[in-house]
Structure 1
């Protein structure tokens, strides 16, 4: 069954407050890379992974029919009922995409309040999609915002959207009283970046603090930690969080995985006493409530251009210059790169993102 909520019905609904507590479900998030285009996607493979969680937030959905087909395939594989809802198409150019939520009927139900964020300042290229759900086992509610942050030409293009997530986080507390909050999706930014500070100041923390979620073409090699959940550790108890290494799980190589499934690995978290339904190849990550989570370091001599772009003050042009200038003996040597003066080099060093040299 599909639901398409509009703002008018949302405003008419009464949002009943209840005491916040942890739910006992597994929640996943996944950028499905042009899901719904005629591009050879293997729906059975997507569903084989997706059945490991009870509730999914999906990005890069290209049409409603793709989600209907996924819903039916999940029902075929699990023998259970599943439901879904899809946002309107969002995007500023000729390229647009949708978000979707998909959930297992026996564990989760949609309550109310599904809508695209009212971005009056037009800061988001693809406005986040939000909805509230209830754990049928405990009766507890959780509000989720899913987003695909624009990649753009470099870090500076992503930073404004990341910083504005703090406003959405605060707004969610007002709109969904009594519900725990999650912001999830493909952020195109690691959780250590300085642009996350406003969201941290608002009390949110990343659930996954190590590992990487984007597939390289080399088997077993993953790069950037772009996909994550941000949550309030004082309100939502998370039992585990991790990255599903789906190529290993499905027994396929990375080139095939990127072609027939996605170039992003799905992420998940469990709440309360829930256990994720993925197999043993899932990479588990600890849940951190600290101020500065650790992350795989960036090697100046081996990192790709997209990985180097994650460093402060490094965009695509400087990333290319760093690659051309290899080998590097120390971070301080980056002062040879045009535009990287002593202050900017010090900021790169102080970020803690560069591997020891």
Structure 2
């Protein structure tokens, strides 16, 4: 993958009335990269996508695509492909007619249109359905047609606005893997908008977690999950154990924190007296005790079997809870009401400012 910037968003802001939806957003995407905008409803991710497409021009800032400033260029002159949640297919046209639509609008010669349509349909494995009506297709097939239509015009960037959300869970998971493979095959630069963390982690080279019109963290999926930069990112991506406490000491990049479950060590930089949230991921917790590790005890509140894993929720007292994820290979799984003790590495424990918990 080329490291050259392909899409550069600089200081982009957007307001609707008194509400600031995008607040000085900066984002650089490389050619051929797949980036997901992840966040809750109202965080600004769809507005940012629409700004890139030219459907919601920013009030300030710039957007450059393939080396060209497109901040004030109309949508039809940006060479951007968009796949909407509703697919926006034309029911009166055939599959091939839908895929050819964008090319016809551009005045592409018929011979070139035919070649491009066949190639696009072949890529999404629908080459045999070119003459079929849209109403005769399944939801997954319609999603493929929408993708083929976007690919056919060879856009500089492909934009996906919750494009898989209309599919049932099993088909959606299959399409996530298939779509990522396809986009890598055609070396497409793509941006996804979703509120589904699993989809973001599955499909992306990098994920931009958005909150209140800003990007809280931009990182590869594994880094985002394992090293969240903020309490918001921790809470929005994956499950976690979170315990409120007060810093009482600092040493070599770690803080000592007094909590309702005992004294814990965590990675972080805070002064003594600071109120913090101590957090770790559930798969880090192991039954028993380990030298040099954090540990806490409590009574099992619930045990949830999920096939390859089992989630154990523990009441640690004083309003504190522990959430442990045990693999399906674990020989011992506690039962509800059992008294248990869990330990987890200090290196996988993080401290965040408590005031950010809201």
TM-score between both structures, scaled by the size of structure 1: 0.32
TM-score between both structures, scaled by the size of structure 2: 0.32
